[in-house]
């Protein structure tokens, strides 16, 4: 089954990349007050069991995909890409 892990810089954590993007958008004339840049990982799992997939994805996000000190993550299971 397919799933998506969305990783974001935690609120209040400095995000230089997001600041650069926000600045670029303002330079282009867009009325942007803030931009934050995260990361999206599409995963295809062997299992078809959403519970098993959810547990595995949670471990993946905690162990490798996100650093809990500075990033939060959300998991969407069964997404079509």
Partner 1 sequence: MIDAPRIAVVTFPGSNDDGDAMLALELLGAEPVRAWHADAALPDGTAGVVLPGGFSFGDYLRCGAIARFAPVMEAVGSFAASGGPVLGICNGFQILCEAGLLPGVLRLNRQQQFICADVTITVESTSSAFAETWKVGQELVIPIKHGEGNWYGGADLIAALEERGQIAFRYTEDVNGAVGRIAGVTNEAGNVLGLMPHPEHAVDELLGPMGGVPVLGGLIEATRAATAAG
The piece of 9-17, 26-34, 46-54, 72-80 that touches partner 1 (CB under 8 A) is: 9-17
Q: Does 75 bind partner 1 (CB under 8 A)?
A: no
- The arrangement of strands across the sheet holding 39-44 comes to 39-44, 2-9, 71-77
Q: Which is nearer to partner 1, 13 or 55 (CB)?
A: 13
Q: Is 64 helix (H, G, I), strand (E, B) or coil?
A: helix
Q: Does 17 bind partner 1 (CB under 8 A)?
A: yes
Task: Give the separation between CA 58 and CA 51, rounded to whole angstroms.
Answer: 11
Q: Does 67 bind partner 1 (CB under 8 A)?
A: yes
Q: Does 11 bind partner 1 (CB under 8 A)?
A: no
Binds partner 1 (CB under 8 A): choice among 1, 2, 19, 50:
19
Residue 50 CA to its chain's centroid (Å)? 20
């Amino acid at each position: 089954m397919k799933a998506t892990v969305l990783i974001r810089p935690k609120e209040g954590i400095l995000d230089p990349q997001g600041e650069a993007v926000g600045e670029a958008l303002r330079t282009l004339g867009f009325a942007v007050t803030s931009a934050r840049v995260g990361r999206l990982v599409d995963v295809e799992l062997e299992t078809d069991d959403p519970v098993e997939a959810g547990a595995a994805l949670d471990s993946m996000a905690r162990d490798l995909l996100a650093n809990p000190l500075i990033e939060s993550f959300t998991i969407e299971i069964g997404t079509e890409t």
